[in-house]
Amino acid sequence: MIKLSHKSFLIGLNVIADTVIDNDKRFNECLDVFFDQPTLFISVICSEEELIRREQIRGDRQIGLASSQFDKVYGFHEYDLEVNTEELNPKECAEKILSFIKSNKDYSVFKKLSKRNVSVS
């Protein structure tokens, strides 16, 4: 199940989905839900070393999860926008996203993606 947060204030977007797409089934679910909607596909990145560091200091994560998911989570190579949380603080990331939205650029990457084959185990 995809967790969605309703955020209809400020910029007129109806939904912000903050999720980890770590497998083909989850990706296909997102594609089904958002394909017919204007969908800004954003990559929120940082280095594997930084993910490991954050995981350790948070104290509420299974140690090793960040490293084990790293290649899966960063398996997409095309996004409408990328924000690097090692280079930008949260406010700067939000400002970069808002600037992109206000630029009226087309949200096209998500529409180019196709469903992925889900292997049965």
Half-sphere exposure at residue 38, Cβ-oriented, CA atoms within 13 angstroms? 8
Q: Distance between CA atoms of 86 and 69, rounded to whole angstroms?
A: 18
Q: In the prediction, which pLDDT does 108 show?
A: 85
User: 54-95, pLDDT tens digit by residue?
Assistant: 999 998 888 998 888 888 777 777 889 999 999 999 999 999
Q: What is the mean pLDDT of the chain?
A: 81
Tell me how far CA of residue 118 lies from CA of 8, 28, 103, in angstroms.
Answer: 33, 9, 36
Q: What is the CA radius of gyration of the chain?
A: 15
* Per-residue pLDDT at 103 exceeds 90: yes
Domains of the chain: 5-112 (3.40.50.300)
Q: pTM here?
A: 0.74
Residue 12 pLDDT grade (very low, low, confident, very high; cuts 50, 70, 90): low
- Range 96-109 average pLDDT: 90
